[in-house]
Amino acid sequence: MNLLDLYVTEVGRRLPQKTRADIEAEIRSALQDLVDERTQATGKPIDDERVLAVLNEYGDPEKVAASYVGDRYLIGPKLYTTFVKVVFPVVLFTVILVLTGLGSWLFLTHSTTEDWIQLVAQTIGNLVGSVLLTSGIITIIFAILERTVPEFGLKKVEWDPHRLLKLQPPDRIRPGIPIVIIVLTCLAIRVFNFSPGIWVGGATFTSVTEAWQCYPSCGTYTNVWSLSFLSATFDRYLYALDVLWGLSIILCVLLVSQGYWRTWTRGADIGLKALWIGLAAMMLAGPSLIGITPADLKAAGFPDVAAQASSSIDLVNQMVRVMLGLMIVLSAEVIVRQLTRLLRRPKPLA
Amino acid sequence: MIGNLILELRRGVIVLGVLSQLDEERYGYALINCLKEKGLEVDQGTLYPLLRRLESQGLLESSWRIEADRPRRYYVLSKAGRELLPRLTTEWTEIVSAMNKMLK
């Protein structure tokens, strides 16, 4: 990514998503025209210093973005980046909280389809309400700040295009992928640490009533069993998995908040992927991670299921191994890609 | 303060100046040069947002074209823009005439 791209990105990240790509393309085209004019005027190939002079002439990215946004927006370019950085984690946390509640119920209970539909609909309602409330409050706070901050006389740091030279990241990070990773990782932590068994039946023991209770309500239930689905071997890997999941979440949060790949975050990603490869290789080479056996099912009082379960358990075992293999390949691909980006020099300007 | 007053005065003039030069298709940088040659200097940070605003108001149309391996956005008056331009020109002529009388 050259200086022009970095500058355009600096403007673009202060613009609303809807118009961002179009305005970025226009600014890039306009800057290229200016650069061409300077090249023709001097008769010399353009270098970084001349490009920086052009960017200085074009102006502070914040002001350029403000000229496109105008006064019609509730939160302008001055606070837009900070607003996104604040509202995003808060909304994300809200979503994770509500989804964790739904996930817990789904894993801990065994109810009818009607119950599921009812709960999912209720969860969607709660989710929309919670997200609207939290984001609304934050938006109002920022809208007030937008109109009052200049009165506090905060010192404005003069924009210097040379700052672009200090930026190492060649790529902007779209927040979608890190968010998906965060949500899935949170769910994985929840599932593997707190719901490792299969609930056979539809009830759980509550400390409040000191009795077995069905969710949401399915009458009296007897013969409740919990079988361990994963093997003791898996439990030995769980601490390492938790550490790697935790590190992955921290990295994703940093990526979302920074908006760019930086040298150290790329390095961290490479290190993390290498650890994932090591762990996946150990799990692949070691004993089976699936702990449930036909004998367990038979002992639990399900002889019919046990008779047919052997081939299914073998299939699950194979699937787990394929997934581990895929994980190794994909992680290796990420390492190669990140190394390539780290070693690649910025493209010379035309 | 004086700077703001001059900016305010120029703002309306720039709109008319831009519309008057877009009876034929031009891209932003060419339009800046065209206006400059005729004595009206407009910086890029003013022109490009203005072009977008005029387009959103339906007075201009735009299209992207690839020229010398580079995309350029060309602007031209829309039908509404062509209808508006003579009315704005008449208005401007009357204002200039009135102001000339007042400032003599």
Distance CA B10, CA A272 (A): 57
Distance CA A41, CA A35 (A): 10
**Full pLDDT tens readout for chain A, 350 residues:** 578 888 888 888 878 778 888 899 999 888 888 888 888 877 777 778 888 888 888 888 888 888 887 656 677 766 777 677 777 777 777 777 777 777 766 665 656 667 777 777 777 887 788 788 777 877 887 777 777 665 444 455 567 777 676 654 556 677 777 877 887 888 788 777 765 444 433 344 444 444 444 443 444 434 444 456 777 788 888 889 989 998 988 888 878 776 778 778 888 999 999 999 999 998 888 888 877 777 776 766 666 666 677 777 778 888 888 899 999 999 999 998 888 877 764 443 33
Distance CA A278, CA A331 (A): 10
Chain B stretch 29-48, residues whose beta carbon is closer than 8 A to a beta carbon of chain A: 29, 44-46, 48
Å between B18 CA and nearest CA of chain A: 17
Distance CA A315, CA A4 (A): 53
For A247, the enclosing helix (H) or strand (E) is helix A232-258
Residues in chain B: 104
pTM: 0.47
The pLDDT assigned to A202 comes to: 38
* Residue B21, pLDDT above cutoff 90: yes
**Which residue of A27, A29, A59 is in closest CB contact with B70?**
A29
Q: Is A260 left (phi over 0), alpha (psi -120 to 50) or beta?
A: beta
DSSP result, A50-114: HHHHHHHHH--HHHHHHHHHTT-SSS-HHHHHHHHHHHHHHHHHHHHHHHHHHHHHHHH----HH
B45/A27 touch (CB, cutoff 8 Å), yes or no: no
Å between B97 CA and nearest CA of chain A: 32
The pLDDT assigned to B93 comes to: 94
Token pair listed for A140: 């109002």
**Which residue of B27, B49, B70 is in closest CB contact with A68?**
B49
Q: What residues of A are in the B interface, CB distance below 8 Å?
A: 23, 25-27, 29-30, 32-34, 37, 58-59, 63-64, 67-68, 70
Token pair listed for B87: 């009315």
For A264, the enclosing helix (H) or strand (E) is helix A263-285
> Most A CBs within 10 Å: which of B7, B26, B27, B29, as the mutation test of the A interface?
B29
**Which residue of B45, B53, B70 is in closest CB contact with A32?**
B70
Tokens 């990782």 belong to A185
The pLDDT assigned to A216 comes to: 38
Å between B27 CA and nearest CA of chain A: 9
Q: Which amino acid is at A258?
A: Q
Whether A51 and A350 have beta carbons less than 8 Å apart is answered as no
The rounded percent of chain B whose pLDDT value lies above 90 is: 65
Whether A289 and A230 have beta carbons less than 8 Å apart is answered as yes
DSSP result, A167-229: ----SBPPTHHHHHHHHHHHHHHHHHHH--EEEESSEEEETTTTEEEESS--------EEEE-
Whether A338 and A266 have beta carbons less than 8 Å apart is answered as yes
Backbone angles phi, psi at A297, to 5 degrees: -65, -40
> Could you give the 3-state DSSP secondary structure of residue B82?
helix
The pLDDT assigned to A109 comes to: 60
Nearest by Cα to A272 from A249, A248, A253, A256: A248
